[in-house]
């Protein structure tokens, strides 16, 4: 987020007096509008570098925090909950399901934040990640339908142990 705020900083090494002189020269017709735009206090290289760092930062958020932090734990929680269904633990089922909901909410909010910053690419990757969230909850839903067996893509299969 600091890189996002950094884009509004004016670099100190630019010559402010030179930009003022260029504006005065433009007023007197000594330079063209293109020349004055070049002399403005705007560092294009710095801005491009900052934009690239911002995109990289938000992509790392998507990979590290959402995939590793939320989706992996969501998948493990759903697999554990499916295995617990045979035992019927009661309160622990509810706790795990609430934890899954909180992980999903956090993943959705982080994906929304990244979509705003990354645009269409962020929307594409986030929609794929949201399919993974839906898959985890669908897995638990199907496991409740196949109480005596486990659920796989082929349907209700007996649990091997």
Q: pLDDT tens digit string along 43-77? A: 667 777 878 888 888 888 888 888 888 899 998 88
pTM of the model: 0.64
Is the model's pLDDT at 140 over the cut of 80? yes
Question: CA-based Rg of the chain, rounded to a whole angstrom?
Answer: 27
Q: How confident is the model at residue 138 (pLDDT cuts 50, 70, 90)?
A: confident
pLDDT above 90 covers a percentage of the chain that reads 10
Q: What is the mean pLDDT of residues 78-107?
A: 82
Is the model's pLDDT at 15 over the cut of 60? no
Q: How confident is the model at residue 113 (pLDDT cuts 50, 70, 90)?
A: confident
Cβ-based neighbours of 54, under 8 Å, separated by 6 or more: 3, 4, 7, 117
Q: What is the pLDDT of residue 52?
A: 83
Q: How confident is the model at residue 21 (pLDDT cuts 50, 70, 90)?
A: confident
Q: What is the pLDDT of residue 2?
A: 60
Find, among 161, 141, 158, 160, the residue nearest to 149 by Cα.
158
């Amino acid at each position: 987020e600091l890189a996002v705020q950094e884009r509004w900083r004016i670099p100190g090494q630019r010559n402010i007096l030179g930009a003022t002189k260029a504006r005065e020269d433009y007023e007197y017709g000594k330079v063209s509008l293109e020349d004055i735009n070049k002399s403005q206090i705007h560092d294009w290289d710095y801005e491009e570098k900052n934009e690239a760092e911002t995109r990289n930062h938000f992509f790392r958020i998507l990979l590290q925090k959402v995939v590793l932090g939320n989706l992996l734990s969501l998948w493990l929680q759903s697999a554990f909950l499916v295995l617990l269904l045979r035992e019927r633990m009661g309160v622990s089922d509810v706790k795990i399901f609430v934890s899954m909901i909180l992980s999903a909410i956090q993943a959705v909010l982080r994906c929304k934040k990244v979509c705003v910053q990354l645009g269409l690419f962020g929307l594409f990757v986030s929609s794929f990640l949201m399919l993974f969230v839906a898959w985890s909850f669908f897995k638990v839903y199907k496991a409740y339908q196949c109480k005596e067996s486990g659920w796989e893509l082929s349907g209700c299969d007996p649990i091997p142990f």
